[in-house]
Structure 1
Amino acid sequence: MSNPESFIQEVTEEVRRDRLYAYFRKYGWIPALIVVGVVAGTGWTEWSKARNAAQAQAFGDAVLDALDLGGAEERRAALAAAPASGAQQAVLALLLASDPAEDRAGSLAALEQLAADGAQPQSYRDLAVLRRVILLGAEMPVVDRRALLDPVAAPGRPFRPLALEQLAYLLVEEGRTEEAIAALRSLTQDQQAPAGLRGRAGQMIMALGGDVAPAGDAG
């Protein structure tokens, strides 16, 4: 290669480098902003998931507590005070309009509709399944109640301990006392289960003539 050609190539390379550096100085903030956006977006998504799960759990617990109150007026007041936002408000309105003490058939129909509504969050649908099974009681065959409760009792579902409690009661209803005691004993040691539920499980074990702790664990 002749000297003039070599000189032209070197100048061309310098111009390319200068132009590239200029681009970096001018537009280098764009990839940095993208990286920051990706990191921030991931963090926001995880935080939102955790927040939504906590809100769903708090709402579900408040609704269950309210529905277990004795008087219709007390139930309505407790439901009205339940922490609700977004889709929860629609579910709450449905529950407020369907009081089992005054309109049992309407309440059961509303719960069945909510449980089957795929547009609603799974936690609300699970809640509807639980409440409907409890309300129906022996009116629904044990096999049908178990079929409804089994998915709600799956690991990771928000109302798993409550579903396990109801499944244990089905064992009692079938006369399978030892199996029921074993299931209830597991609940007394389940850290996901609320303290009140663990207490109920212990009381039921004693009522069935069992020990809360296995014999090998005594002392």
Structure 2
Amino acid sequence: MSDTDSFIDEVTEEVRRDRLFLLLRRWGWVGVLAVVLIVGGAAFNEVRKARIAGQAQDLGDAILAALSQNDSAERAASLANVGSDAPGGDAVLNMLLSSAQVEAGSRQEAVDSLNAIATQGDLPEIYRAIATFKALLLQTETLPAADRRQQFEALAAPGAPLRLLAEEQLALIDVSEGNVDAAIERLQALRQDAEISIDLQQRAAQLIVALGGEPEPLVARQG
């Protein structure tokens, strides 16, 4: 290689270094910012996970301490004083609180605790349905049959998670209103449902017999 070619290569390499240095000075902060964002985002995510786990642990400890009370009224009072910031924690707390309130004889307070879950729109449907169902059972003697029927019919809608249990309750409302034939018809249909459990199927058959009817033969299920 001639001295001229060598000199040209050196100059070219120097120009490249100068350009790279200029680019780093101009745009190097972008790379630094990207690294900061990646590292910062990962750290924030870990801190968030740790905070959620800590909240859940604190909630669990507080609930266990409240449940350790021997007296049902004291348990209810202790649970009522527990606060929750954990996702879904307030629903679990209100479920436990309602049970303690029932044991303490505070039935209406238990209904209020369950209704607080039932109206919490950000909860999965199954939790809201269970809360509504339990609240209705607690109001069997206080809520008019027409009102209970309306709410159980909503729970018995196609695809609803507790529809079969709601159908059973609707049959019991039929019985309470003296409409035995309607109750038997509903129970017969309930027994034939492809999704019914064995326990519920047996309960329906026993109720049909108790009402003076005869359970229809079960239709063979396909598949």
- Using the size of structure 2 for normalisation, the TM-score is 0.55
2:193 matched residue in structure 1 = 190
How far is 1:126 from its partner?
1.1
CA deviations on 1:180-217 (whole Å, 9 max, x unpaired) are: 00101111111212211111111100000001117xxx
The structure number with the bigger radius of gyration is 2
Amino acid at match of 2:194: Q
Distance 1:145 1:165 in 2: 13
Distance 1:148 1:96 in 2: 23
1:206 matched residue in structure 2 = 209
Alignment partner of 2:103 out of 101, 104, 110: 101
How far is 1:167 from its partner?
0.7
CA deviations on 1:51-102 (whole Å, 9 max, x unpaired) are: xxxxxxxxxxxxxxxxxxxxx8xxxxxxxxxxxxx85544222211222121
Structure 1: give runs of 5+ residues left out of the alignment.
Answer: 1-71, 73-85, 215-219
Distance 1:196 1:88 in 2: 30
Q: Which runs of 4+ in 1 moved over 3 A?
A: 86-90
Establish whether residue 145 from structure 1 lines up as the match of residue 148 from structure 2: yes
Distance 1:93 1:168 in 2: 32
C-alpha contact (below 8 Å) 2:114/2:135 kept by paired residues: yes
C-alpha contact (below 8 Å) 1:87/1:120 kept by paired residues: no
CA deviations on 1:21-45 (whole Å, 9 max, x unpaired) are: xxxxxxxxxxxxxxxxxxxxxxxxx
CA deviations on 1:4-34 (whole Å, 9 max, x unpaired) are: xxxxxxxxxxxxxxxxxxxxxxxxxxxxxxx
Distance 1:160 1:118 in 2: 19
Establish whether residue 92 from structure 1 lines up as the match of residue 92 from structure 2: yes
Is the alpha carbon distance of 1:191 and 1:87 closer, same or farther for their aligned partners in structure 2, counting shifts above 3 Å? farther
Distance 1:101 1:155 in 2: 34
Distance 1:203 1:88 in 2: 38
Residue aligned with 2:98, SS: coil
Establish whether residue 169 from structure 1 lines up as the match of residue 207 from structure 2: no
Structure 2: give runs of 5+ residues left out of the alignment.
Answer: 1-71, 73-85, 218-223
Matches within 5 A, 1:126-145: 126-145=129-148
Is the alpha carbon distance of 1:203 and 1:89 closer, same or farther for their aligned partners in structure 2, counting shifts above 3 Å? farther
Distance 2:197 2:138 in 1: 21
Residue aligned with 1:98, SS: helix
Residue aligned with 2:136, SS: helix
CA deviations on 1:149-179 (whole Å, 9 max, x unpaired) are: 1111011111110111111111001100011
How far is 1:127 from its partner?
1.0
Matches within 5 A, 1:64-79: none
- Using the size of structure 1 for normalisation, the TM-score is 0.56
1:116 matched residue in structure 2 = 119
Is the alpha carbon distance of 1:150 and 1:110 closer, same or farther for their aligned partners in structure 2, counting shifts above 3 Å? same
How far is 1:123 from its partner?
1.4
Distance 1:200 1:129 in 2: 22
Distance 2:205 2:150 in 1: 25
